[in-house]
Amino acid sequence: MNFFSHYDYWVMLFLAMSGLFIVIARGNLIKKLVGLAILQTSVYLLYLTPGKIVGATAPIVDASFTVYSNPLPQVLILTAIVVGVATLALGLALVVRIREEYDSIEEDEILRLDLDPADDKREAKP
């Protein structure tokens, strides 16, 4: 198998793995979300790649063209993009709220604050 004939899959894998690495290795909540966004974006490439036919046009009916790319992956990915946007927006909204409550967006600091034994008292508040 020729390495370069499938280079877009390699790009996809590189993006996916770097995204996953950022999510796992970084403690900053915003950076985690960036990694997550990269991971999700890599999937778009996985879907779009096989739908493209070299030398084909966009799937718009016209008498002068006969070979069209597959439009279905693009529709699917449009859905996945919407999901990605929604996830990112929700994630960022949570980070904003976390910062308001903890005054920090570093995971280790937040976890340390959570070990605070005064928590039971706060639970009692109406």
Partner 1 sequence: MNFAEHLPALQIVVPLVSAPLAVLLRDRLAAFVLVLAATWTAFAISILLWLQVGESGLISYAIGSWPPPWGIEYRVDALSSLMLMLVAGIASVVLPYSRASIEREIRQDKHYLFYALFALCLSGLLGITITGDAFNLFVFLEISSLSSYALIALGKDRRSLVAAFQYLIMGTIGATFIVIGIGLLYIKTGTLNLADLSIRLQAMTSHRPVLAALAFLTVGISLKLALFPLHQWLPNAYAYAPSAVSAFLAATATKVSVYALLRFYFSVFGETAIFQRLPMEDLMLVLALAGMFVASTVAIFQDNLKRLFAYSSVAQISYVVLGISFDSVTGLTATIVHLVNHAVTKGGLFLLLGAVIAGMGGVTLARVHGVGRVMPVTSFGIVLCGLSLIGVPGTAGFVSKWYLILAALEKGQWWLVFLIVLSSLLAVAYVWRFVEVAYFHAPRADLAGVREAPLALALPAWILVAATIWFGVDTSVTVGSAATAAAQLLGVSR
Partner 2 sequence: MKNDMVLRVIGKLLIPFILLFALYVQFHGDYGPGGGFQAGAIVAAAMVFYAMIYGLSTARRVLPDALVESMIAAGVLLYLAVGFAGLHFGGNFLDYFVLDADPVAGQHRGIFWIELGVAITVCGVLVKIFYLFAQRGQDQE
Q: Which residues bind partner 1 (CB under 8 A)?
A: 16, 20, 23, 29, 32, 36, 39-40, 43, 46-47, 50, 73, 76, 79-80, 83, 86-87, 90-91, 94-95, 97-98, 101-102, 110-111, 114, 119-120, 122-124, 126
Q: Would you say 67 or 115 has its CB closer to partner 2?
A: 67
Output the CA–CA distances (angstroms, integers) from residue 49 to 18, 86, 120, in the order listed: 19, 24, 53
| Per-residue tokens: 113 | 């604050």
Output the CA–CA distances (angstroms, integers) from residue 104 to 21, 99, 113, 115, in the order listed: 22, 5, 10, 15
Least distance to partner 2, CB of residue 25, Å: 27
Q: List all residues 6 or more positions away from 108 whose beta carbon is below 8 Å from its beta carbon.
A: 27
Is 78 among the residues that bind partner 2 (CB under 8 A)? yes
Q: List all residues 6 or more positions away from 65 whose beta carbon is below 8 Å from its beta carbon.
A: 56, 57
Q: Which among partner 2, partner 1, none contacts residue 95 (Cβ within 5 to 8 A by kind)? A: partner 1
Is 94 among the residues that bind partner 2 (CB under 8 A)? no
In angstroms, the CA 3 to CA 9 distance is 10
Q: Which amino acid is at 54?
A: V
Least distance to partner 1, CB of residue 83, Å: 5
Q: Would you say 58 or 92 has its CB closer to partner 1?
A: 92
Binding site for partner 2 (CB under 8 A): 58, 60, 78, 82, 89, 92-93, 96
